[in-house]
Amino acid sequence: MGKFALIWIANGFDPADPDSLDCFSRDTLHRLLEMYTQYRSQGQGVKILIPNYRVRSRSGRVLVDVMRDAIIPLVLWGDVQISQEGSINLLNNCDIVAAYEKANQGTQIFVFLGHPVLRNYFESSYRAMCKILRVDATAEALTFATENISWRTRGLYTALGAWTQLLACSLSLFRGWFAFRKLHDNRRTHNFVRTVK
């Protein structure tokens, strides 16, 4: 029996309702559930990993709690795992994915991202994290969204992807970038809305 892990990377809160997930997060959840249901029906071993997001909406809701409320009625709760490490950004999520992969070698991992514009940034960061943790990078990033996004968001994450690819050539530079982003993003954990807009 195969072992599979589905990792749900949320995009954030609905701008019109800070107590709900945005359209990208709902879409990735829908796609994740399709794969989860397929593997369960085949008798495969499948787990769902949710990063322990610490960002809060304008109303004070913590993102991981909103995600848990959305998924609980739809899956077997025993199949869901919340990461021990907290997350405030996509770099944290890459660290969480790489650490999970190291602890669960032999598991086929799929990472559900909110939008294709995040793919290069995620994959560059994830591969660098795997080098740091000395584990093979085998997780597959999946994106499905087709909604239009702002030119600012597209430009930002295209640039971040290219920048991270460059930094990842030197793990010491990448570690510095990771530390900088963690310090910077710790200041925006409250009144968070979403990543891709």
The pLDDT assigned to 78 comes to: 95
- Mean pLDDT along residues 166-193: 91
* CA angle centred on 41, ends 39 and 47, rounded to 5°: 40
Label residue 36 by pLDDT band (50, 70, 90).
Answer: very high
Is it the case that residue 1 has pLDDT exceeding 70? no
pLDDT tens digit sequence for 75-131: 999 999 999 998 989 999 999 999 999 999 999 999 999 889 999 999 999 999 999
The pLDDT assigned to 195 comes to: 84
Write the CATH number of the domain with boundaries 3-188: 3.40.50
pTM of the predicted structure, to 2 decimals: 0.93
For the chain, what are the domain ranges?
3-188
Rounded CA separation 62/120 (Å): 27
Would you report the helix, strand and coil content of the chain in percent, each value rounded to 5?
50, 20, 25
